[in-house]
Amino acid sequence: MAGAMLVVGSMLVSATLTIGLAATGGAAVAARRAAGAADNAAIAAADSVSGALPGEPCERAAEVAEASGARLVSCGTDDLDAIVTVEVSFAGMAAAARARAGPPRDSVDSG
């Protein structure tokens, strides 16, 4: 009987650890998806600000974020830079990421 209890206890511990590790791995994947979606959305918005792509920068960012499976939370521009925040849902929670895109600081001609 003691052996059966040991087996059942070991199975419960293993199941708990497996579920915990799967949840942690899923959250890490969601965070990386959010970061990638934020990067892509910021680049698309910055391209619109610079005139390389037609359209409104934040509309373009929303389209790209949605195509990446994310939702655009905020979007703004500062000179030629675009700053966006996106969210990706995972297990009823949200992973958020923020990104900025634009030309390198030293290459902007201020004169």
Residue pLDDT tens, the chain, 111 long: 788 888 888 899 999 998 888 888 888 889 999 999 999 999 999 999 998 889 999 999 999 999 999 999 999 999 899 999 999 998 888 899 999 999 887 755 555
* Stated pTM of the model: 0.77
Burial classification of residue 25, based on how many CB atoms lie within 10 Å of its CB (0-12 exposed, 13-18 middle, 19 or more buried): exposed
